[in-house]
Amino acid sequence: MAKTTIGKVLFTREQIEQRAKEIAAEIDKDYEGEDLILLGTLKGSVPWLVDIMKYMKNDFKLDFISASSYGSSTSSSGVVKIKFDPDINMYNSHILVVEDIVDSGNTLKYLMNKLADRGPKSVKVCTMLNKESRRTADFHADYVGFEVEDLFVVGYGLDYDQRLRGLPYISYLEEEDVEAL
């Protein structure tokens, strides 16, 4: 019999979309009448970003950035590498970084400092998952989809070595799940 899910499901597509709808309403309220740039972090944030965008009523600009501290590992290396830098003018705009997961906080703290140098009115973060238990940097996300324990999560944009991003839910992998891949 074929396995219908990978790992142990934490959040279903319906739960994720409902939370995105709620957060989109908060963002609309907070940035009404303001110049807002949604800055999606590649590659993991794309499904969450799309959900946020489709429920937003206010207009916004869109761009992407790619920074990582994971590589092929299940835990952060602590070394941040920017792989793709946006070229949109951020001066005097509000920047909302849309992230898949905040783990140690090191990558986002680094990004926030780099983005602040571009002269925006504000830089905030909207994350699908917040893993407070792994935080090593002094960092706080402004909009949080879900809190998650210290688990290795995949699906809905989150990957294990560039795999499992397309799962229509978020699950976590235990060691035996990783070994079976």
Q: Where are the domains of the chain?
A: 8-180
Token representation of residue 12: 């279903």
103: annotated active-site residue:
yes
> What tens digit of pLDDT does each residue of 35-59 get?
999 999 999 999 999 999 999 999 9
Q: What is the pLDDT of residue 73?
A: 47
Which residues lie closer than 8 Å to 11 by C-beta, 6 or more apart? 146, 156, 169, 170
d(CA 142, CA 160): 26
Find the Cα–Cα–Cα–Cα dihedral 130, 134, 177, 129, rounded to 10°: 0
8-180 under CATH 3.40.50.2020, yes or no: yes
DSSP symbol at 13: H
Q: What is the pLDDT of residue 78?
A: 60
Which secondary-structure segment (H or E) carries 113?
helix 106-116
d(CA 152, CA 165): 13
**Could you give the percent of the chain with pLDDT greater than 90?**
76
Q: Which of 28, 35, 59, 103 is labelled catalytic?
A: 103
pTM of the model: 0.90
Asked if 44 and 37 count as a contact pair (C-beta separation under 8 A), the reply is no
Mean pLDDT by 10 residues, the chain (181 residues): 76 98 98 98 96 98 85 55 85 97 91 94 98 92 97 95 94 85 78
